Chain A
Amino acid sequence: MSRMFGVLARSYLGLVLLFLYVPILVMMIMAFNKSPLYMLPFRFDTVWFGKLAENERLLRATWNSVWIALANMAIATSLGTMVALAFARYDFPGKRFLQGLLMPPLVIPWLITGTAMLIFFFWTGIGRGLHSILLGHVALSLPYVVIVISARMQSFGAVFEEAAASLGATPWQVFRRVSLPLMAPGIVAAALFAFAISFDQFVISYFLAPVGISILPVEIYSSIRQGFTPEINAISTIVILVSMALMIAFARLSSFSGER
């Protein structure tokens, strides 16, 4: 009985992994296939990476995506750290209400958020452009960042900060030398989240991107509609490898400072 259960559990796990990773693997393998029509048999070639280097449009979109994601990561993580710190360490009127306001953006469909932002930005004269995409991404990722860092902050009390203050540390020194190192694993995780949310973001970017300017997910989408070549696979492969490398590097870093 338990043996059969074991077999079932194993096959279940196998299936999950299969559906999760096989499409990605196939996608990556096809980046190295010579045929432009994804035809088999597989013939190894790096022609699509070469083509990619010449594809201005795709490269510019990738570059836009990368810097928006990095800027979003920096802005959302700094703002979110401050918010999480305020929620965890201070009591002020309306705190619960503000904490409650974090939740709805997580469940409101992006399509609706995107439409709302488009209308709002149009109205207020912010308009469309990379700046409004960045603004939208920051607004979108902030709740995630706050939630991830708050979870970390719950694992240690204010007592370390009080100890630092009693030893003569100014509020800034307390933050810099005690709160920040203790929050670091949460901040790193939140930063990764913020990067990923922005880098993956399609709907809001699609709405807010002006004509002629594109970012990677939007560019991939339009390529697919227009009929595409394995260049898309090539850029996707690069993106996957780079993000995995980042992920591993961050995980290593945070495990060093992640005591307690």
Chain B
Amino acid sequence: MGSVDLQSVTKTYGATRALDEVTLTIAEGEFFGLLGPSGCGKTTLLRAIAGFVTPDSGRILMDGQPVERVPVNRRDIGLMFQNYALFPHLNVRENLGFGLSVRHRPKAEIAARVEELLRLVRLEGFGERKPRELSGGQQQRVALARALATNPRVLLLDEPLGALDKNLREEMQIELKQIQRELGITTIFVTHDQEEALTLSDRIAIMRAGRVEQIGAPRAIYERPATVFAANFLGAANLFTGMVEAREGGLTRVRLEDGSLVTTRDEAAPGRQVTLAVRPEKMQVAAPGEGPNRLSGTVSHEVFTGTAVILRMDFQGRAISVFAQNDGGPLPRAGEALTAAFDPANAVILTDPAG
């Protein structure tokens, strides 16, 4: 119960393609994140799954059944809005019972379910409050409980934690994940916050301009981004462009534009122009000297973050960052020379050229 299949879903508004041939399969019980910048189509996609947006073409299947023509109220979904949309004229109890009440369930059943939900989100004793008498975190929990009230087959969350401050957000991330695990409900959520996507999702789809850029487990996408956009949007990336020279001993040798030599475990045909991505934390400050995977330059500035120092250096006309652990060792300062090195396993060849 609760699989969602999207097949070439397309939606245009005037000249803009809000959704461009989106194809995705979300498995039962999966916690699936739609990540992207604003305007990438992620919210449109969520609204299409919910039934507020009718695709121009393509199919949306729930548990194998097409639902494009099924109205919102018969899709059997739970939807949590960014600003919660708790009914201001109803108290918490009435908000939670709304879904069952419109289905004409017996009063006793509704009351029992509401109690259960209040316990689930730890709001026993708040049943008589009006939404405006609750804190942001409490409102968020009521909204979640309300979306779960009818045991929907799919839970849809629109920026679920976006309206909370940072500390509360981290707390709620854990709680949300816990509740989702406990209930085993298929959950699709929209976020522009990469950390939230990484923490919560079983899998993530990175979206850009109405298209899905990359799908995968958080770790897989982070370690092996497919495109420049994916590499930059999920975490930070240092990009290098060059020409593949040869493949030998399990390593691909790439001659960068400035003449320096780097190697990667990724495969590419000799003569091809490639873009490589290396995460800042996968680069180390190395002893000066020549050799493969050693890049030299001058530190343009340094950012102290407490646990680490981010060293910036200009290389090939691009700023690259080296994430140096603050382990007490000496670190180069701004204006000083820096040699950064990385392991060939940590250099990823991207499928598109760097802009």
Question: Which range holds the interface residue count of chain B?
Answer: 20 to 34
Residues of the B chain whose Cβ atoms lie less than 8 Å from the Cβ of A259? 88-89, 130, 132
**A165-B72, A260-B132 known; A170 and B79 CB under 8 Å?**
no
> Is A168 a contact of B102 with CB atoms below 8 Å?
yes
Q: How far is the CB of B45 from chain A (nearest CB, A)?
A: 16
Hey, what's the 0/1 contact readout for B147-166 against A, CB within 8 Å counting as 1? Answer: 10110000010000000000
Residues of the A chain whose Cβ atoms lie less than 8 Å from the Cβ of B79? 162-163, 166
Assembled-state Cα–Cα distance A160/B132 (Å): 14
Residues of the A chain whose Cβ atoms lie less than 8 Å from the Cβ of B73? 165-171, 174
> Is A257 a contact of B85 with CB atoms below 8 Å?
no
**A159-B81, A162-B52, A165-B72 known; A181 and B89 CB under 8 Å?**
yes
Q: How far is the CB of A70 from chain B (nearest CB, A)?
A: 27
> Is B72 a contact of A163 with CB atoms below 8 Å?
no
Residues of the A chain whose Cβ atoms lie less than 8 Å from the Cβ of B132? 259-260
Q: How far is the CB of B109 from chain A (nearest CB, A)?
A: 15
Assembled-state Cα–Cα distance A171/B71 (Å): 10
Q: Is B323 located at the chain interface by the 8 A CB criterion?
A: no
> Is B81 a contact of A163 with CB atoms below 8 Å?
yes
Hey, what's the 0/1 contact readout for B97-116 against A, CB within 8 Å counting as 1? Answer: 01100110000000000000
Q: Is B77 located at the chain interface by the 8 A CB criterion?
A: yes
Residues of the A chain whose Cβ atoms lie less than 8 Å from the Cβ of B81? 159, 162-163
Q: Is B4 located at the chain interface by the 8 A CB criterion?
A: no
Assembled-state Cα–Cα distance A182/B156 (Å): 25
Within 8 A of B (CB), among A177-196: 177-178, 181-182
Q: How far is the CB of A79 from chain B (nearest CB, A)?
A: 24
Assembled-state Cα–Cα distance A165/B98 (Å): 10
Residues of the A chain whose Cβ atoms lie less than 8 Å from the Cβ of B315? none
> Is A160 a contact of B87 with CB atoms below 8 Å?
yes
Hey, what's the 0/1 contact readout for A151-168 against B, CB within 8 Å counting as 1? Answer: 000001001101111111
Within 8 A of A (CB), among B64-98: 71-74, 76-79, 81, 83, 85-89, 98
Q: How far is the CB of A3 from chain B (nearest CB, A)?
A: 42
Q: Is B50 located at the chain interface by the 8 A CB criterion?
A: yes
Q: Is A173 located at the chain interface by the 8 A CB criterion?
A: yes
- The winner among B51, B72, B130 for most chain A CB atoms within 10 A is B72
Residues of the A chain whose Cβ atoms lie less than 8 Å from the Cβ of B85? 159-160, 162-163
> Is A163 a contact of B87 with CB atoms below 8 Å?
yes
Residues of the A chain whose Cβ atoms lie less than 8 Å from the Cβ of B72? 162, 165-166
The residue that B98 contacts in the complex, of A159, A167, A170, with Cβ under 8 A, is: A167
Interface of A is mostly: helix
**A159-B83, A165-B72, A166-B50 known; A177 and B102 CB under 8 Å?**
yes
Assembled-state Cα–Cα distance A86/B250 (Å): 67
Residues of the B chain whose Cβ atoms lie less than 8 Å from the Cβ of A173? 102
Q: Is B146 located at the chain interface by the 8 A CB criterion?
A: yes
Q: How far is the CB of B278 from chain A (nearest CB, A)?
A: 43
Residue in A closest to B76 when the chains form the complex, CB atoms: A168
Q: How far is the CB of A188 from chain B (nearest CB, A)?
A: 14
Within 8 A of B (CB), among A93-148: none
Assembled-state Cα–Cα distance A140/B67 (Å): 46
> Is A167 a contact of B150 with CB atoms below 8 Å?
yes
Q: Can you list 13 A-B contacts with CB-CB less than 8 angstroms, sorted by A residue number? A: A159-B81, A162-B81, A162-B85, A163-B87, A166-B73, A166-B147, A167-B73, A167-B99, A167-B147, A168-B74, A181-B89, A182-B89, A260-B132
Chain B residues with a Cβ under 8 A of chain A: 50-52, 71-74, 76-79, 81, 83, 85-89, 98-99, 102-103, 130, 132, 146-147, 149-150, 156
Chain A residues with a Cβ under 8 A of chain B: 156, 159-160, 162-171, 173-174, 177-178, 181-182, 257, 259-260
What 4 A-B pairs are tightest by C-beta distance, nearest first? A167-B99, A166-B79, A163-B85, A165-B72
Other than the known A167-B102, A182-B88, what 17 A-B pairs have Cβ atoms closer than 8 Å? Answer: A156-B88, A159-B85, A160-B88, A163-B85, A165-B72, A165-B73, A166-B50, A166-B72, A166-B79, A166-B156, A167-B73, A167-B147, A167-B149, A167-B150, A169-B98, A170-B73, A178-B87
